[in-house]
Structure 1
Amino acid sequence: MKKTFRQWAVVTSVVVSSLGLTVSASAALPFFGDKKQEVPSLAPMLEEATPAVVSIAVEGTQTARQRVPEMFRYFFGGPQEQMQERPFRGLGSGVIIDADKGYIVTNNHVVDNADEITVKLTDGRELQAKKLGADEQSDIALLKVSPDNLTALPLADSDKTRVGDFVVAIGNPFGLSQTVTSGIVSALGRSGLNIGGYEDFIQTDAAINRGNSGGALVNLNGELVGINTAIFGPNGGNVGIGFAIPANMMKSLVDQIAEFGEVRRGLLGILGNDVDAGLAEAMNAEVNLGAFVSEVQPESAAEEAGLQAGDIITAVNGRELNSFQELRARIASMGAGAEVTLTIMRKGETQDVNVVLDDATQSTVTAAQIHPALEGATLSNGSDDAGNTGVVVSELERGTPAARIGLQPEDVIVGVNRQRVNTVAEFRNVLDESSGVIALNVKRGKSTLYLVIR
């Protein structure tokens, strides 16, 4: 039996006659008839919402590198490091988003490497869950349990969320039973935090602590606004800065996982950077925020739609952009084939461009997915000016492992251990079969060189 939410009246003001004051409030209230009981309270909404938020306990094993002491290597020989499997247990939270199908959303880091996942409901029932799929880069995972008298949270349109909206965080911090905290939306479109590969977070001052990961951020109508995923503060404690994955972004990713068992990211096919006052002045543009297009890749969705180098993208589907990172996260969360309307400024004039996204999984990957030493690079199928086809380093972050091994933007990887590679898929397959030292054959302009990964 699927439970539904009751509609609660919204009280916009409470007159405190004894003090002669008018106190503004925005809280869901039932009406009891007795005026003395007409006090602002979140309890009625929470009574409906909290059964949809669950506790998640996981057990599994993880592989860790252990350095072998010098004396043992001297007497017995062997490698400097050994791989060792260690059992682990963890706790987190989750949100039921479909009561009929038994779908539960949580963070990928809550259930990563888990061999056994147990979901505990607010009524005390414990159910075994199966992971249908996950996306490490956006930190989302989809679980399934037997659909038996479950309660699901309705989804809010997170694109309509505004700074200052009241929100409530529901989860299981520090392994405690279900806990509720309240606050407001502090900021939108947060990125550049190095928490995940694709960041477009809702920031809130509702207290979020360890164990809240995967829990719900809801509005005063009891609708899911976001999935709590991270905190910012010393020693992992709450300091009033928490982050949640927007519900719309989560829904797009979960729909792909449910249909395909994986996320099939959309690809726009541009390179660029943030817009600031200096760039806006140089381009004679009347905007100081957005995503500047420095290059449109050949035969990409962007080229097909007519985007040009020098364009400034200011909005996606009508929602304003703050940065190139935010654009990257929004596009990546949309599925291949999705139709997107981009608002751009070109030569001082604003216009809309409709784009049908390519499939990023076929041509572009975040290199950390392939090998840890390549973290910080984005790889694409392509070629250089000399016609050398292979795996192009389309983006590279400074100070990352990929930069430290010597990769540079626009490098073309054409071989691994003397084996030719033409595409990202071939590159991934060769690395999966390689062990020990790895030598990358790289074309850089007119030069050929080898970069070694140990």
Structure 2
Amino acid sequence: MKIRPLVSALVLSVSLAAPMTATAVLPVSVDGQSLPSLAPMLENVTPAVVNISVAGTQTQRQRVPEIFRQFGAPPEAVRERPFKGLGSGVIIDAKEGYVLTNHHVINEADEITVTLTDGRSFMATKIGSDEGTDVALLQIESDNLTAIKMGDSDILRVGDFAVAIGNPFGLGQTVTSGIVGALARSSLNIENYENFIQTDAAINSGNSGGALVNLNGELIGINTAIYGPNGGNVGIGFAIPVNMASNVLKQLLEHGEVHRGVLGVTGRDLNSEVAKAMDLEIQQGAFVNQVFPDTAAADAGIEAGDVITTINGKKVKSFGQLRAQIGTMGAGAEIELGLLRDGKNKTVSVKLGAAEEQALNAKDVHSRLAGATLVNASDNTKGVEISEIVKNSPAQRMGLRADDIIIGVNRVRVKSVKDLKDALDEQKGSTALQVIRGDARIYIFIR
């Protein structure tokens, strides 16, 4: 099975059934009682959901074989390829013309066109975009817009009804319904910060950026991906919780980018196996493996072996959920965490640090390190530790592993993430990373 983003290419194939010979008229009521219908709610909501079409040019780089470079060929061949795509979006502020969508819908686009349900089209301006959460904010200039009501994704329960609205396969606005099948889904390798709502409301390619709403017509999520073998709906779709998206939007509006909050811990999901090994009575939460010194967690007194059970009084089900929620809160945000330590509940106040001070996604350091998370090493080694690494990412394929400690670039010693970035920025030829793995020192080349 593959998990796929929902942006749709401009290709459409339609099969037409035989025409009906008669038109059935259904009653609007039976014995004086109105039949249940989502139509009244949707009449208010659907004008706030828009179609998005994009066009741009993608740059592709391909390494030239050594044998050709010996005869003067450049080390890389650069090719530009035009592209077009379709997606969806949601108007969240009618006065300002703000439209919420996915990062992958508008990524690398030179032209973004927003089309309303009444047929009007507008060129959109990108206010900001965050790849880590797959959230983007656009703006259009128009009167008579309809904005959607914002819901509260923190109060969702498995089994709540959900309605998906979007632009699947470029067909035009389409509505499907289902239920919330699961909450706090993570470890799917779709995005860097994952805390998804899972639903069986049918969503397909082109639904990216569209709305997931409750029966009150309130936005509870932004549809972003599906789980399926061939890009079609199989009843498992994923949406970014609206509360998480709202945290990102506030920062995009204020800064044009996200200034991530960082707690300063590594950990894992608490499950029955871990709970049994640690003699814990609870089965869900975020188990803390390590606390890095001089971080928000260390300052708050969090310790390795603690289980984080709540954020601001709301339950934490997994370490992935904790990481996603912390990562979408701004640097300097003040929060309360509920802990379980030695069988006793404890609450601590935390002021989140800044990502640039404590941790970076390795793609920000070097493109070939994408998929790793780098932190300043916490022991006397004084290097850069890989605290997490995404399966099949460029960093993993290059040979790096979680818990590796990078101590040098070629012959240049590095003691921090900033040192590593500076050293890599200065390298122009072959680059070797000096890495400590367990008791061994090895070299890994960046190619």
CA distance 1:183–1:408, shift in 2 (3 Å): closer
Aligned partner of 1:413: which letter? I
Aligned to 1:407: 400
CA distance 1:44–1:90, shift in 2 (3 Å): same
Output the CA distance in 2 between the equivalents of 1:273 and 1:346.
16
Aligned partner of 1:269: which letter? G
| Pair 1:65 & 2:61 matched | yes
Q: How does 1:202-351 map to 2 (within 5 A)?
A: 202-351=197-346
TM (norm. structure 1) is 0.86
CA distance 1:283–1:66, shift in 2 (3 Å): closer
Give the structure, 1 or 2, with the largest relative contact order (CA under 8 Å, sep 6 or more). Answer: 2
Output the CA distance in 2 between the equivalents of 1:392 and 1:67.
29
CA distance 1:425–1:102, shift in 2 (3 Å): farther
* 3-state secondary structure, aligned to 2:230: helix
Using the TM superposition, give the Cα deviation of residue 327 of structure 1 relative to its aligned residue in structure 2, in angstroms.
Answer: 1.2
Aligned partner of 1:407: which letter? L
Alignment equivalent of 1:106, drawn from 89, 101, 105: 101
Output the CA distance in 1 between the equivalents of 2:391 and 2:172.
42
Q: 233-242 vs 365-374, which deviates more? A: 365-374
Alignment equivalent of 1:50, drawn from 37, 41, 46: 46
* 3-state secondary structure, aligned to 2:324: helix
Aligned partner of 1:452: which letter? F
Output the CA distance in 2 between the equivalents of 1:430 and 1:121.
49
2:69, 2:75 within 8 Å by CA — same for their partners in 1? no
1:384, 1:412 within 8 Å by CA — same for their partners in 2? no
Q: 415-424 vs 346-355, which deviates more? A: 415-424
Deviations for 1:37-86, whole angstroms, at most 9, x for unmatched residues?
6111111111110111011011100012357699x949975257512011
Aligned to 1:153: 148
Output the CA distance in 2 between the equivalents of 1:146 and 1:74.
51
Alignment equivalent of 1:431, drawn from 415, 424, 437: 424
Using the TM superposition, give the Cα deviation of residue 177 of structure 1 relative to its aligned residue in structure 2, in angstroms.
Answer: 1.1
Output the CA distance in 1 between the equivalents of 2:391 and 2:107.
28
Aligned to 1:136: 131
Unaligned runs of 5+ in 2: 1-27
Deviations for 1:405-442, whole angstroms, at most 9, x for unmatched residues?
34344444344344454443453354355444222244
Aligned to 1:93: 88
Output the CA distance in 1 between the equivalents of 2:69 and 2:431.
26
Using the TM superposition, give the Cα deviation of residue 380 of structure 1 relative to its aligned residue in structure 2, in angstroms.
Answer: 1.6
* 3-state secondary structure, aligned to 1:413: strand
Q: Tell me the number of residue pairs that the alignment of Structure 1 and Structure 2 aligns.
A: 420
Aligned to 1:25: none
Alpha-carbon RMSD: 2.6
Using the TM superposition, give the Cα deviation of residue 290 of structure 1 relative to its aligned residue in structure 2, in angstroms.
Answer: 1.2
Output the CA distance in 1 between the equivalents of 2:57 and 2:428.
22
Deviations for 1:340-399, whole angstroms, at most 9, x for unmatched residues?
22221111112222211111133311213433432332112346414x3x4332334565
Aligned partner of 1:242: which letter? G
Alignment equivalent of 2:363, drawn from 341, 359, 368: 368
Aligned partner of 2:51: which letter? S
Using the TM superposition, give the Cα deviation of residue 296 of structure 1 relative to its aligned residue in structure 2, in angstroms.
Answer: 1.1
Output the CA distance in 2 between the equivalents of 1:315 and 1:252.
18
Aligned partner of 1:391: which letter? V
Aligned partner of 2:388: which letter? E
1:284, 1:347 within 8 Å by CA — same for their partners in 2? no
* 3-state secondary structure, aligned to 2:124: strand
Using the TM superposition, give the Cα deviation of residue 137 of structure 1 relative to its aligned residue in structure 2, in angstroms.
Answer: 1.2
Give % identity. Answer: 58
Output the CA distance in 2 between the equivalents of 1:75 and 1:303.
53
